[in-house]
A and B are shown apart, each in its own frame.
Chain A
Amino acid sequence: MTNSISEIENNDCLFITGSNTTDTHPVLSYFIKQAKRKGAKIIVAEPRKIDLVKHSDVFVQIKPGTNIALYNGMANYIYHNGLADQKYIESRTEGYAEFLTGIIDFTPKKAAKICGCKEEDIIEAAKIFASAKSAGIYYAMGVTQHSNGTNGVKSLCNLGLITGNIGKKNAGINPLRGQNNVQGACDMGGLPNNLTGYQKVFNDEARAKFEKAWDVKIDSTPGIRIPEMIEGMADGSVKFAYVMGENPIVSDPDTNHVKAAFEKVNFLVVQDMFLTETAEYADVVLPASSFAEKEGTFTNTERRVQMVNKAIEPVGNSKPDYMILQELMTVFGYQENKTPSEIMDEIASLTPIYSGINYDRLKIKGLQWPCTDKNHPGTKYLYEEKFTRKKALFSKVEYLESAEVANKEYPVTMTTGRTLYQYHTRTMTDKTKGINTLVKENYIEINSFTATKYNLTDGEMTTVTSRRGSIKVRVKVKEILQDDVCFMPFHFAEGANVLTNTAADQYCGIPELKVCAIKFNA
């Protein structure tokens, strides 16, 4: 997030899109609702009539995969009706003229046709958003998990820029990070092209710093991403795979393909708390301790680095991941033996945005990066005075159809998401009885029109097929979807991801989990 959680309740307008916030980021959604109580206007743009719609001023119900069309349509209206923040655009941005060429003809009418929504709704959303004193954009995987996900984010940024809402208090562009430490995993260089703190592996200066600290030569070519890793495992070029605390067999698209890859790879290490679906394929399984059994830090969605403290001893013979990794590195001949606090000091010494962070400071309230020295108070919102590249860049973004759209053979568009009660692949949540009683099994949500059309009734089992596979699942009829659109939670093994598409975004490799085409088997 460019801004902070505590600012949410003071936004004058909140634009929520691609996020079912009450289910995915529940506590954050409480603050959105509190903002509403204090008089803020709420815009929701989603394929489903989600819970937050009850609290919204405008709801734009869009077809899955058409969000860019909506954002461009809104920008078009803002531009043509003098609602753009000229002063801000001139002083703080670049690329405006080029961006305009992309939206100048993209009228709300045109957008409405693509999105399957009402033109008035787009206009209303644009008006409210552009006339608010401070407007925040809140989005999640509903924007990014598309074959054009990066562009989706760029076109949302355009909306923030054209209205002057980025680099401002109580506003900003705020991706809501799904997992507890996705932010941290990215910050820490768990990416093929980045060292810690987004320092590029191909940046000689950055590499030199790490080479000196680690006393080793670092490869300057970026590594491969998960989809290519899975490809490599399948074709035999990858021989040694190490999975720490993830469950790709359930979480990644096209399960059958992923399984074949994990079956094939020569050697697989899985480090986890449970014998997950992925661990079943491992050659070595290392038992990891839970967050309650170790010390460390997580970085939340508002960039706040916060302490994780040890409450109990490791269960059984399990060990905290940091201990396992250091013991292994020592076995490999690279001596490592530090406490979590000392590891953080090493991180701080190599990572400018974490430079001022250490455990003594964190203990009180955490710190929001960038925190560049020991006296730096942390950063509540980004880009207050300047952007990383001095001026923010508008991007010309074209709307493209999803990689797989409904057709005669596969007439229904499926989208996926998290539910309030379950979490990801359920390794953790399915251990609590009450949770399982609330969401016991997989289901497919459709409206009554779709149900009648395909001769389905609420509660019955049906077979759903996509180009990649086929599953049996229970039908749930709920009037929150458009016709011929369905929703399936992604928590269940042999569920949504048997059906989903691996088509990936060309820039960041994110798979198109939010849109695929399916059919109901008669």
Chain B
Amino acid sequence: MIKLIINGNQIEVEENTTVLKAARELGIEIPTFCDDDRLSKQTSCRLCIVEVEGTDKLLTSCNLEVKEGMVVNTESEKVRIALKINLSLIWAGHPNDCMKCGKSGECKLQDYSFEYDVDAEPIYSVRKEAIAKNATNHFFEIDPDKCILCGKCVRICSEQVGVGALGFKNRGQETYVSFGNDNFEDAGCVSCGSCVSVCPTGALLNKTADKYRNWDVDKVRTTCSYCGVGCQMELVVHKGKIVRVDANEEGSNRGLLCVKGKYAFNFINHRDRLTTPLVRKNGKLVEATWEEAYAKINQKYLEFKGESNSFVGFSSARCTNEENYLFQKMFRQVFKTNNIDHCARL
């Protein structure tokens, strides 16, 4: 174990820990765009700079290992000034679009710019020529103008998803992120949206018809309802409607999802949902109240009650444990039969 001091607080951490992580353990968030525990290091955004006693240069904390007795300052005047300059440089090549941008409210560039007093009017004028948005994917688009080249999308796609559909194109000021061949399908993209999940800005943004602000939503953690992996996710709710699904990093899925979990949620608020019971009358299914529907079922239950073998139930691999439990309980306790099965085999 190694002892060090960060912003006046003493902390003891394991060897080989980075200063960035040690600070996090103390609840001190050092700004960063390109760092992610799950990904290889890129050390390119230069936001995570800190001052270390005994050195003149500011050091990037994401690749700085802790040393015994180290004294670190993450909030010194020197750090703040440097950070502001670094952010201003990024902002100089960025469209001033926060008002319309769907990322507004949970954008790291916006948050840091606010925190470090970056002026909205760019001081530097190095804006590259606009590169057209890539909207080939059905679920999200890439806006190179808003990209800050942190490379997280490129890394998550190749290192975590194992696909490698994204890469950097061109050089210098003209660098941008895109699919190989500029088309998602050609690049083998599986539309999992992991790149969107890690983008700190609005460069990778879901396509959506819903208008909502990120400060005007609720997030509810839950379990994906598609396959047996059981990924943990967050349903983003706006005015009683699911408008987005976010990944959650605490589950076995470590913040990764697939296209179904991430994007196939429209069924929830879909207009085809059944919203009332239906009962067959004169050969046709017509709307009915719950009471009518229950009464009809009860009538048939009473009719066949003596013949328990004439009852069968198809239980559901889609419903919850509690519901499956109740279903078999109903069959065994009420209908007095073990005729329950479900599509486990399909």
Contacts and interface: CB of A to CB of B under 8 A. Distances in A.
Interface of A: 4-6, 22, 24-30, 33-34, 36-37, 55, 141, 144-145, 176-193, 195-196, 201, 210, 214, 216-219, 221-226, 229, 232-233, 237-246, 248, 251-252, 266-267, 269, 272-275, 279-280, 282-288, 290-294, 296-302, 304-313, 315-322, 325-329, 331-332, 334, 336, 340, 343-344, 346-347, 365-366, 420-421, 423, 427-429, 431-435, 437-438, 508-511, 513
Given A190-B342, A232-B312, A429-B267, A275 B274 contact: yes
A298 B324 CA distance: 10
A36 B338 CA distance: 45
Nearest to B299: A267
A309 B139 CA distance: 25
Interface stretch (B86-94, B102-110, B223-231): B223-231
Contacts of A6: 252
Interface stretch (B14-22, B73-81, B277-285): B277-285
Which of B227, B251, B276, B321 gathers the greatest number of chain A CB atoms within 10 Å? B321
Contacts of B326: 321-322, 325-326, 329, 336, 343
B264 interface: yes
B267 A217 contact: no
B225 A180 contact: yes
B333 A334 contact: yes
20 contacts: A180-B224, A181-B321, A185-B344, A218-B336, A285-B277, A290-B268, A292-B220, A292-B242, A298-B320, A304-B230, A308-B223, A308-B225, A312-B235, A312-B241, A312-B269, A329-B329, A329-B333, A331-B295, A332-B298, A420-B260
Given A192-B338, A309-B221, A329-B334, A347 B321 contact: yes
Given A284-B279, A332-B301, A311 B328 contact: no
Contacts of B2: none
Contacts, number: 455
Interface residues of B, number: 105
Contact of B277 (A28, A266, A284, A432): A284
Interface string B202-244: 0000000000000000101111111111111001010011100
Contacts of A36: 162
Q: Which 6 A-B pairs have the closest CB atoms?
A: A316-B275, A300-B230, A296-B320, A33-B162, A434-B138, A223-B338
B interface, over-half SS: mixed
Nearest to A286: B277
A214 B319 CA distance: 22
A440 to B, nearest CB: 12
The winner among B230, B269, B330 for most chain A CB atoms within 10 A is: B230
Contact of B230 (A178, A243, A301, A431): A301
Contacts of B340: 189-192, 223
Nearest to A35: B162
Contact of B272 (A224, A233, A275, A434): A275
The prevalent SS among residues of A at the interface is mixed
Given A190-B315, A240-B310, A25 B323 contact: no
Contacts of A245: 316-319
A346 B328 CA distance: 14
